[in-house]
Structure 1
Amino acid sequence: MTAPYVKTHIENGIETIEFFHPAHNSLPGDILAELADAIAAAGENEAVKVIILKSGGDRTFCAGASFKELIAIDDAQTGQVFFSGFANVINAMRKCPKFILGRVQGKTVGGGVGLASATDYCMATKFAAIKLSELNVGIGPFVVGPAVERKLGLSGMSQIAIDANTFYPAEWARQKGLFTQVYDSTEELDEAVNGFAKQLCGYNPEAMREMKQMFWQGTEHWDELLAQRAAISGRLVLSEFTKETLKRFK
């Protein structure tokens, strides 16, 4: 099986950041840390005008956090560190002064929905159904909630958070504002993402930087907020209810 990775490629002002894990792109802490660092570095690189965030493989965009690491948590501090993984990536995306384009080729779950929501412009295939499954294991989408709510609104976010066992179609996500466009194939998606990235490279970088700051206004407290949310999840994962639920998933 292919080893997990985060890799970057810069060409003509476009930096592509790609992550991968053989377990349906479910991401352990070390890969999440690499991803956050790559996004931060791209934001500081003057040669980069726009960023494309994508995952490897043909099917799942991201299945959320590593389940193997989740079931190994045995204290609150470890739990908070675990749930801070996606928080750090979302905050890196929020602070990055460059537009981040999301390329979602397939299903996305939990933290993966948070990543898609934290992009500035997200395109997907018709296979990119979304699900917030956290309540299924006795937790909740506390860390990704602010990013998802920012895109779907409170009504849309609460709907999929409460209905934690249902995949919502890509077209539903488009209608709610998460995806800008939905394509019939990955080939069409890639053509659209790459074409749009090239188009953005022709715009004034300073104007795009100011626009990004404007779009994210009101989220300046997210470093503290997402840390608090990670602590909530870290506490809940130690509850008897969640422990018993996780045993059934082993």
Structure 2
Amino acid sequence: MHNNLLTEIKDRILYITINRAAKLNALNKDTLAELNMVVKQFYTDENAGVAIITGDGPKAFVAGADISEFSSFSIVEGQQLASDGHSNVFNLIENCPKPIIAAINGFALGGGLELAMACHLRVASDNAKLGLPEVTLGLIPGYGGTQRLTQLVGKAKALELILTADMITADEAKSLGLVNHVTTYDALIAKCEELAGKMLNKAPLALKSALTAVNSFYSKDKNGYSVEIEEFGKLFGTEDFKEGTQAFLEKRKANFTGR
């Protein structure tokens, strides 16, 4: 049982709901620890192939980090806070071998937007507001926001949003490439499930290789083309490759097993 998260697996989709609506689902230390545990389990859980992360209630996906927990931190404690967040949650999500979709159901601010950006796809409801307001606290984004926002929207727009602390609407976020789709609030989870369903029909090991190859583009110590070649070649040794090509030749639907 988790105190701050609700989790459920249905039709091979893991639903993760941050369950702190009274606090606008702010990320405190305990919530981050629970996210770490749940995402780690998802890595190897054979019952789930795609995850959807959302926030409880109509107001917020995650309205930020819990400021009361770190307002008195020293330099060393601040650096440790960021470092732990990177390795235990945000990088863990980004490097997950299975797709994770953020269902942004309201405010995604600060650590909340950073959480959404660590996910592989983002779908926002039309009432969502997104932003990185850290400079208003005398800080900068510390959970990967300066890097991932720049990757997603480009340097000039990322700097504008970070330096002004402006919030943007879901439609603006979509036009920038920050979110993949915008829906009504009521259709949000259904849209995420539609995307998840498309992925669940595909070969799991191929999805894993695709995530690895695309992520390698942003890694300074990797050559993305080399990673792509290696991952492409590895898949020729899988049963799913044999099944996929056989199904194509026999004009039938492939039955992938993840082997």
Cα distance in 1 for partners of 2:41, 2:99 equals 14
> Given the superposition, is the C-alpha separation of residues 142 and 5 from structure 1 closer, same or farther in structure 2, using an over 3 Å criterion?
closer
The amino acid of 1:83's aligned partner reads A
Q: Using the TM superposition, give the Cα deviation of residue 161 of structure 1 relative to its aligned residue in structure 2, in angstroms.
A: 0.1
Which has the larger Rg? 2
TM alignment of 1:104-119, pairs within 5 A: 104-119=104-119
- Structure 1 unaligned blocks of 5 or more: 223-250
Cα distance in 1 for partners of 2:129, 2:91 equals 24
User: Displaced runs of 4+ in structure 1, greater than 6 A?
Assistant: none
Cα distance in 2 for partners of 1:216, 1:30 equals 28
> Given the superposition, is the C-alpha separation of residues 196 and 39 from structure 1 closer, same or farther in structure 2, using an over 3 Å criterion?
same
The amino acid of 2:12's aligned partner reads G
The aligned counterpart of 1:169 is: 169
The aligned counterpart of 1:152 is: 153
The aligned counterpart of 1:124 is: 124
The aligned counterpart of 1:228 is: none
The aligned counterpart of 2:250 is: none
Cα distance in 1 for partners of 2:29, 2:142 equals 17
The aligned counterpart of 2:247 is: none
Q: Using the TM superposition, give the Cα deviation of residue 85 of structure 1 relative to its aligned residue in structure 2, in angstroms.
A: 5.0
Q: Using the TM superposition, give the Cα deviation of residue 103 of structure 1 relative to its aligned residue in structure 2, in angstroms.
A: 0.3
The aligned counterpart of 2:140 is: 140
The aligned counterpart of 2:225 is: none
Cα distance in 1 for partners of 2:160, 2:19 equals 29
RMSD: 1.9
The aligned counterpart of 2:194 is: 195
- Structure 2 unaligned blocks of 5 or more: 222-259
The aligned counterpart of 2:65 is: 65
The aligned counterpart of 1:31 is: 31
Normalising by structure 2, report the TM-score.
Answer: 0.78
Kindly indicate whether the alpha-carbon contact (under 8 Å) linking 1:114 and 1:145 is maintained by their aligned counterparts in 2: no
Structure number with the bigger relative contact order (C-alpha 8 A, sep ≥ 6) is 1
Q: Using the TM superposition, give the Cα deviation of residue 113 of structure 1 relative to its aligned residue in structure 2, in angstroms.
A: 1.0
Query: What SS class does the counterpart of residue 26 from structure 1 fall into?
Result: coil
TM alignment of 1:207-246, pairs within 5 A: 207-220=206-219
Cα distance in 2 for partners of 1:109, 1:180 equals 18
Cα distance in 1 for partners of 2:106, 2:150 equals 21
Normalising by structure 1, report the TM-score.
Answer: 0.81
TM alignment of 1:35-50, pairs within 5 A: 35-50=35-50
Kindly indicate whether the alpha-carbon contact (under 8 Å) linking 1:113 and 1:148 is maintained by their aligned counterparts in 2: no
Deviations along 1:116-171, whole A, 9 cap, x unmatched? 1111111011111111111111111243221222222222211100111x211111
The aligned counterpart of 1:230 is: none
Q: Using the TM superposition, give the Cα deviation of residue 52 of structure 1 relative to its aligned residue in structure 2, in angstroms.
A: 0.8
Q: Using the TM superposition, give the Cα deviation of residue 4 of structure 1 relative to its aligned residue in structure 2, in angstroms.
A: 5.2
The amino acid of 2:132's aligned partner reads L
